[in-house]
Structure 1
Amino acid sequence: MKLVSWNVNGIRSCLGKTLPDFISSHQPDLLCLQETKARPEQVELPLEFAGYHAHWNAAVKPGYSGVAVFSRREPIRVTQGMGLDEHDREGRVLTLEFDDFQLVNVYTPNAQNELRRLPYRMEWDIAFRGYLKSLEAQGKPVIFCGDLNVAHQEIDLARPKANRFSAGFSDEERAGFSALLEAGFTDTFRHFHPDRTEAYSWWSFRGGARGRNVGWRIDYFGVSEALKPRLKNAAILPEITGSDHCPVTLELG
């Protein structure tokens, strides 16, 4: 089973670029998109999406945030949000339940310039961690994926010293991701590539950052401990353009 997660920074924009060809060439079983910036009725899906079940969670605010999952298997149940009013207006979480696991697609809030949204971000991290554990308590292991908006370790960004107090690399956000792993989840890319450097999934549009590979690894697949025996591979695909992020992948046996 091949799973793909990609922050497309606008699905309508990415559909006009590389997304259809990417689906044709990679044929994912599950495609999880973040920052879709559209409601489903605003999007005309091309033929490459034939055979997929489409599920969406759009933000209340038009053109903002949003996530979607396209699945070849029909899920047992689909849930929008975490069931928490204070966190569910921005269209950031979508959960699909299958026979053998629960899949959570997430677009984590950014702490923003000067960390002005950091207090809310910390509340979010606690709520999201609790939500994942509540899903596990229902009896099935969990896969979460998406743009987590944090580079966990210094090797996860090109310039850690310069960004020590920047959004996405604050001590608080990094500790929040550590707490998520300590709660029983595995960062699948680091499971296979514990020491790999210069492996990034997001680059600023400024200053030719992508061409120089001055990037950040902020897109993840995480899994419950019970799924570790099924892990076959995890990868980042920086050669795929069309967004300021690139896709990340997970293969399960």
Structure 2
Amino acid sequence: MMDVMIQMDVLWRVKWTKCTVDKLLAKQRARDKPLLNFTLQLMDKVHYEMASAYSGPAAGQTTSDADAEHTATDDSDAEHTATDDSDAEDTATDDSDAEHTATDDSDAEHTATDDSDAEDTATDDSDAEDTATDDSDAEHTATDDSDAEHTATDDSDAEHTATDDSDAEDTATDDSDAEHTATDDSDAEHTATDDSDAEHTATDDSDAEHTATDDSDAEHTATDDSDADYTVAAASDGEAEAARLLLALVTELSFTCLCSVVRGS
């Protein structure tokens, strides 16, 4: 509180001295007074700098947002905005931890273009029965499968043809109940174009940590407010002393200028 009072006192004295010099300059305008002009310019600069420094928020005033909710351009600790992922549910453009959107696989059931964990669609094989273009019950090779090991051209419970795949693992064109291929979502992990239930990709938010373009629940980025409020620091004793010394210097120059004008007149 004392520092604030000192600052206000210094500012008032600078204003008073500036007014005095202004009046003196008006009286001596017809004469060439370089020192007086220099003093006036110096006073203008001092007045501007001190006004800028001491006309802002008062010491201790809070300038950040509330701990409860961030603004619309930031993430709230409770819920993210529509452009980010919420810790509870992802937006329509991301995967929800609970259920995937229509363009992704749901952990519970696949969409019509993928395999369902319960039953495959007409274009894939069923866990119960293979279709005419289906696969064997054991393991596939790159082009087929077999209960033991398939040859390069086919597979089967005994032997399958080259157009089938197995109930255990699908080929690159089908979904396996265990793991999806690169074009589908795996129940365990999503591919790079989808969200994993465990971790989001670089274009989405992870439930654990946000990417650099989003806010982390733990720490905000440099473009957001921290949950901890920051306050405007009060001027230190050193700053107050510097202001007093500056005022003394300006005052001395002003009186030197006054004396010069008096002697010249």
- TM-score, L = length of structure 2: 0.18
Answer with 1 or 2: which has the greater Rg. 2
Higher strand share: 1
- TM-score, with structure 1 as normaliser: 0.18
